[in-house]
Amino acid sequence: MNTTKDKFRTSDLYYAAFLKTAGFPLVSLDKELNGKKRFFVFEDSSGLLSRAQTEYVNGTSKVSAKDLIDNIRALKSLINME
């Protein structure tokens, strides 16, 4: 996982779906130079992403299961479109 000041990048589909469900805006989908690996880039202008990450890892986050599944499907579709 990579971060810059206002952006966060991850290749983990399920974590990306969690972030999207938790309300973090998906900014872009980046490719590695060889084109095999995809990175989801999220905006973190609020600075709350580290808290969400802690809740995700600890299993204390509260997101809608249905929305999470919908976002997993949407992100998979986005990857397959490229």
- pLDDT, one tens digit for every residue, the chain (82 residues): 555 568 999 999 999 999 999 999 999 999 887 778 899 999 998 889 999 999 999 999 999 999 999 999 999 999 988 6
Helix (H) or strand (E) holding 18: helix 13-21
Tokens for 62?
């509260």
pTM, two decimals, is 0.87
Give CA–CA dist 76/14, Å, rounded.
10
Helix (H) or strand (E) holding 53: helix 49-58
Domain count, the chain: 1
pLDDT score for 4:
59
For residue 16, the enclosing domain spans 2-81
Give CA–CA dist 47/21, Å, rounded.
17
